[in-house]
Amino acid sequence: MKPKQILGLILTILSLILILYGIVIGYTKGQIGVKGQIDLDAQLVTIGWILILLGPAILFGETPIAIKKFVEAKTGRKIE
């Protein structure tokens, strides 16, 4: 495995841990975060969702198809 793929694997695993943490916290507390504030739980879940997009893209070396099509539609240019 190349270092870039190892980084992608680490980001993917980290994102899954953060998302599972958010699910467990949401289940035990009944909510994620605090109304009117940005709580650490909500921030961690958000970071997890962002990393779940980036991790596999770095691991496999390509952009997920849905993101690729979205960017192509918005910019009007074909992405190789």
In a domain, 30, yes or no: yes
Total structural domains within the chain: 1
Residue length of the chain: 80
Q: What is the pLDDT of residues 18-40, one digit of tens each?
A: 999 988 888 887 777 777 887 88
**With DSSP H G I counted as helix, E B as strand and the rest as coil, what are the percentages for the chain, rounded to 5?**
75, 0, 25
Model confidence band, residue 10 (pLDDT cutoffs 50, 70, 90): very high
**Domain assignment of residue 45, given as a range:** 3-75
d(CA 30, CA 49): 20
Give the Cα separation of 47 and 61 in Å (integer).
Answer: 21
Q: How high does pLDDT run on average in the chain?
A: 85
Single pTM value for the model: 0.67
Amino acid at 32: I
The C-alpha atoms of residue 41 and residue 24 are separated, in whole angstroms, by 10
Please report whether residue 16 resides in a domain.
yes
Q: Is residue 80 part of a domain?
A: no
